[in-house]
Amino acid sequence: MPHHVGIIMDGNGRWAKTQGKGRLEGHKKGAEVARNVVQWAKNLGIKQLSLYAFSTENWQRPKLEVRGLMSLLSVLLPKTLPDMMQNGVRFKTLGDLSPLPSSAKRAVQKAVEATRHNTAIDLILCLNYGGQQEILAATKNVLRQALLQDHPEQAIEALTTSTFRDQMWCHDIAPLDLLIRTGGEMRISNFHLWDAAYTELYFTNVLWPDYSQQHLQHALADFQGRERRYGLTSEQVQS
- Active-site residue list: 10, 58
Contacts of 37 (CB under 8 A, 6+ apart): 7, 49, 51, 211, 216
In single-letter form, the type of residue at position 216 comes to L
**Do strands 48-55 and 121-129 pair parallel, antiparallel, or not at all (unpaired)?**
parallel
Helix, strand counts (H, E) of the chain:
9, 6
Distance CA 5, CA 69 (A): 23
Identify residue 186 by its one-letter amino acid code.
M
CA–CA separation, 146 vs 54, rounded Å? 32
Of 203, 200, 208, 206, nearest in space to 225 by CA: 200
Eight-state DSSP code of residue 150: S
